[in-house]
Amino acid sequence: MMITNIEIVPGKRITRHLGLVQGSSVRAKHVGRDIMASLKNIFGGELIGYTELLQESRNEAIARMTEQAKAVGANAVLNVRFSTSSIAAGAAELFAYGTAVTLEKM
């Protein structure tokens, strides 16, 4: 499964367009991380715990998107975009979407 954010893949031809696929994941941080984060808010600097958390949930969003693409019989997802939104206090939604296609070697 190829996942990319360009629209045309060099050296390959799109043979079938299978529509939009998407995956999302909502995560909250656990209290320990929140306490560390509020300490960091005094000193400033990177919140490593949050970076990891968001990365994990983004990977999960990608995995869900890939699953959906597999289900419709695609072998690539093109033009992938990411979007992040905070829905509630302490929770964030990570969203990934793209176009499922089948690619063939030219």
Partner 1 sequence: MIDLIIFVSLLALGYGFGRHAEKKHYKSIIKREKQYSSLPALTAKTPTMLSKPNDSHLVVGSVVISVDYFKRFISALRNLVGGRVTSYESLIDRARREAVLRMKAQAKEMGANLVFNTKFETASIYQGRRHQVGSVEVLAYGTAIIPMQRG
Total number of residues that touch partner 1 (CB under 8 A): 37
Determine if 5 is a binding residue for partner 1 (CB under 8 A): yes
Smallest gap from residue 69 Cβ to partner 1 (A): 13
Determine if 81 is a binding residue for partner 1 (CB under 8 A): yes
Contact 100, 72 (CB under 8 A): yes
Name the residue nearer to partner 1 (CB basis): 35 or 71: 35
Smallest gap from residue 65 Cβ to partner 1 (A): 11
Which of 30, 32, 64, 82 touches partner 1 (CB under 8 A)?
Answer: 82
From the list 71, 91, 72, 94, the residue with the least C-alpha distance to 80 is 94
Q: Is 88 exposed, middle or buried (0-12, 13-18, 19+ CB in 10 A)?
A: exposed
Beta bridge partners of 3: 77
Could you say which residues in the range 18-57 bind partner 1, by CB under 8 A?
Answer: 34, 37-38, 40-48, 50-51, 54-55
Q: Name the DSSP letter for residue 65.
A: H
How far is it, in rounded angstroms, from Cα 3 to Cα 15?
16
Write phi, then psi, for 50 (nearest 5 degrees).
-70, -40
Per CB under 8 A, residues contacting partner 1 are 2-11, 34, 37-38, 40-48, 50-51, 54-55, 58, 80-86, 89-90, 92
